[in-house]
Structure 1
Amino acid sequence: MATLYSKLGVAEDASAAEIKRAYRKAAMKWHPDRNAGNEEAVRTIFLEIKDAYEILSDPEKRKVYDLVYATEMHRWETQQKRQRQRQHQQHQQQHQQQQRDHERSERARRERAEQAAAEARYAERVTFAMRFAEQGHNRDVIFGVLLGRDCPPLLAARIADSVWALHQSRAGAPHANAARRKTAARPHSPGAS
């Protein structure tokens, strides 16, 4: 925030003589007559310097300005501090939200990976059990082999039951078809109804 002191280029505790010297120097530099071709732009600066000197050269006006300036600066600094605190809180909240989102996404990724791994293990166990069933082993052997491969007992029992039932239904299908064909080929005897 530009102050009247900074416009004249002096410190806030400058003496009256220092303020007067600074004013003369700035007035000479920014006087419109000394800045040909740029009169309108420097006129504003020159008037600001003139107004600053008018207030700071009068002890009463300077005292009022210092009091008002100190009050306003305190208010402005307090306001800036609150704003920085709000921004900091918002930044922290955004950071925490980003962390939660990242953790949620990472957890979902891990769960998908675990699910895929579990499905792959299940498919491997079923394939392994099918191979034993096709080799003619019974349900109990299939169950025992699955247990030997660190398959949980309930899951091993379920896979063994399913694979054994599927194998039995496949093995019984050709016999059932052959029996149906034999029955259809037999002549129908009169009196056998």
Structure 2
Amino acid sequence: MTVAERVSLIFEEAQRLVLAAWKSAAIYLAGVTALGVLADQDPEAIGMGFLLSGVQLGLGYFLLTQMIDKGGLADRRSAGFGTYFGLTLLSGIAIAVGLVFLLIPGIFLFVRWAPLYPVGLVDGDGIGAAMGKSFEMTKPHFWPILVALLPVTALQFVFLIGYLAIEPNYFTLPLLISTFGNLGISAGLIGITAVCTAVFALLDNRNEKIAAVFD
């Protein structure tokens, strides 16, 4: 199977997961966007930034668990928010360091840990085990996963870069610009969550209809 065919399967599964959990995706989009817009109206309010980060983390966990549950990827989840938070902290630091200092290692880790969160929540074997399993299961599929992640990651970064480029010109961002920018960033995050969960579904044989073909 070619890279393009495997990328197509990832997108097909990601779309299925978003549709299965569309209410949760809408809640995430509305919640994160609304708080982002509120934060833009008072950029010096440090507390609002912390609140936005906390809500984004909580809604991210909610969205992921709904994709797993509504998408039929597990009868039960063996781990909860503590594992999700730990994975976010450790993988986020490692990927950020890789991106800041050498770029390519950060991208490499981002791809190899794509199914990290669903692996951690479904298996419940601990943070280290989830990181190891995710790293191994993606090894033969690096390029299709990278290509599948490119458009959704680019969507987020295009809006984020444009947002940061405009922001210094205003003390308070105009409402329309703020809403549009936060919507784009939030939509990109939903897309990344869907693609990463789709990778888990395919590589862990959670969608048996197409997992065998993907392998």
More contact order relative to length (CA 8 Å, sep ≥ 6) = 2
Superposed pair shares fold, TM > 0.5 = no
Superposition TM-score, scaled by structure 1 size: 0.21
Larger radius of gyration: 1
